[in-house]
Amino acid sequence: MGSPPLSKQISENALELARLSSFRAAYFGNIDNWNTWLDTPNVQFDNQPPRTIMTSIRGRELIRCSMGLQRNGCVSYRPETI
């Protein structure tokens, strides 16, 4: 007997995280550099490491915006929006 299937929302979040991580690891040259960036406090995220906001959809949008992946619709980070 296997585990029950993941919900649609959990599956979509997992795929989104995988896509973001894959693209960003390529951008940074390797997964270690990507992880270092994720764990380094960043002024764009109120001096918090990007990893702390990566669990929400809004957090992932802010990470993409901060890295220039979106040209329109990017707003400043405010902790209460996540």
- pLDDT confidence bin for 74, thresholds 50/70/90: low
Strand partners, 21: none
The sign of the CA dihedral 63, 67, 73, 79 is positive
- For residue 62, the SS3 value is helix
State the pLDDT at residue 8. Answer: 86
Q: How do the domains of the chain map onto residue ranges?
A: 37-82
Residue 14 in this model has a pLDDT that exceeds 60 = yes
Q: What is the pTM of this model?
A: 0.67
Half-sphere exposure of 5 (CA within 13 A, CB side): 5
CA distances from 12 to 18, 34, 44 (A): 10, 21, 26
Higher-scoring residue by pLDDT: 2, 55: 55
- Tens-place pLDDT, residues 32-67: 998 999 999 988 888 999 999 988 888 888 888 887
